[in-house]
């Protein structure tokens, strides 16, 4: 599991934070949104983090959501 904290989007992702537009860094397929664990919600309740998974390579990642 990795944590990614990006303020500015890179060239391979778009400016929208929709799960259909986020791409996996390993296999370049779309990421799907999944729920955070209760432990992550308890300790990171104030941070705008969202958890995603790539079902092709089984990589889970957190992404920083900027409004």
pLDDT along the chain (67 residues), means of 10: 62 47 89 92 89 93 83
Q: Where are the alpha helices (DSSP H) in 1-67?
A: 38-43
Domain count, the chain: 1
Q: With contact defined as beta carbons under 8 Å apart, do 53 and 32 qualify?
A: yes
Tokens of 20: 């259909």
Q: How many CB atoms lie within 10 A of CB 9?
A: 14
Range of the domain at 52: 2-64
CA atoms within 13 A on the CB side of 18: 5
So what's the pLDDT on residue 66?
79
So what's the pLDDT on residue 10?
52
Could you give the C-alpha distances from 62 to 6, 12, 29, in angstroms and in order? Answer: 10, 17, 16
């Amino acid at each position: 599991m990795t944590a990614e904290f990006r303020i500015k989007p890179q060239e391979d992702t778009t400016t929208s934070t929709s799960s259909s537009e986020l791409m996996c860094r390993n296999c370049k397929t779309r990421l799907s949104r999944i729920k955070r664990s209760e432990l992550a919600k308890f300790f990171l309740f104030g941070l705008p983090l969202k958890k995603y998974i790539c079902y092709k390579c089984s990589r889970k990642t957190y992404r920083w959501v900027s409004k």
